[in-house]
Amino acid sequence: MLNLGDEFPNFKAVTTTGPIQFHDWIGESWAILFSHPSDFTPVCTTELGRVANLISEFEKRGVKIIALSCDSVDSHKKWIQDIKSYAKHSGDGFPYPIIADENRDLAVQLGMLDPVEKDKDGLPLTCRAVFVIGPDKKLRLSMLYPATTGRNFDEILRAVDSLQLTEKKKLATPADWKSGGECMVLPTLKDEEANELFPKGFYVINLPSGKPYLRVTPQP
């Protein structure tokens, strides 16, 4: 299993838009790789359609999208027509590539197999993994969902907003934070440093312990 901060494998793959070398494909962008159990399945179709309709939101954040499913490129290309129809996604082509992982080589390498859910041949399905990779090619966030549970891509966008903000600012984002909301000053910062870094100031939430660790500041 990959740990946060590990360099993401620089794998070669065949996709619906041609062969790629992963790090070259990422370039200087952020990237999200998300996996799917199988083509022509209900939850996967809704997920890929949702991401296709959100592609402009990912592009605004400088994030490249790539999907993976354990079927062939030919199967993917036929499935794309169903995805576009379901999502009412117009236009030529498809806004992101889909990796063909027929032999499950990448699924094994990246620890994405679901031991509970199996296909008609009894082989483990790929779970619904999400990997967010930074421009430095390091893993910044990972999520694993079982094959039966679809993902919330608004949450993934929210997490990307937090990752990109906190990479540049000495802040943390609280529960249910959304871009533009109040942030938390890192506990490693002294008040003097916080005042210098956050000219809009911060306030402290009083707690029974008397410890002033909940320091809140507007998003810079």
pLDDT at 204 over 80: yes
Instruction: Please indicate, yes or no, if residue 201 is contained in any of the structural domains.
Output: yes
16 and 112 together in one domain = yes
198 and 148 together in one domain = no
Quickly count: other Cβ atoms within 10 Å of residue 35's Cβ. 26
195 and 160 together in one domain = no
Domain of residue 213 covers 169-218
98-120: average pLDDT: 84
Percentage of the chain exceeding pLDDT 90: 82
Long-range contacts of 159-168 (CB under 8 A, 24+ apart): 159/132, 160/30, 160/32, 160/58, 160/61, 160/63, 160/132, 161/61, 163/132, 163/134, 164/30, 164/61, 165/219, 167/134
43 and 145 together in one domain = yes
174 and 159 together in one domain = no
Where does the pLDDT of residue 92 fall: very low under 50, low under 70, confident under 90, or very high at 90 and above?
confident
pLDDT at 1 over 80: no
158 and 182 together in one domain = no
pLDDT at 68 over 80: yes
Set 44, 70, 127, 183: catalytic member? 44
- Annotation marks residue 44 as catalytic: yes
Instruction: Please indicate, yes or no, if residue 67 is contained in any of the structural domains.
Output: yes
Per the structure, the count of domains in the chain is: 2
110 and 213 together in one domain = no
> Residue 189's domain is classified under what CATH number?
3.30.1020.10
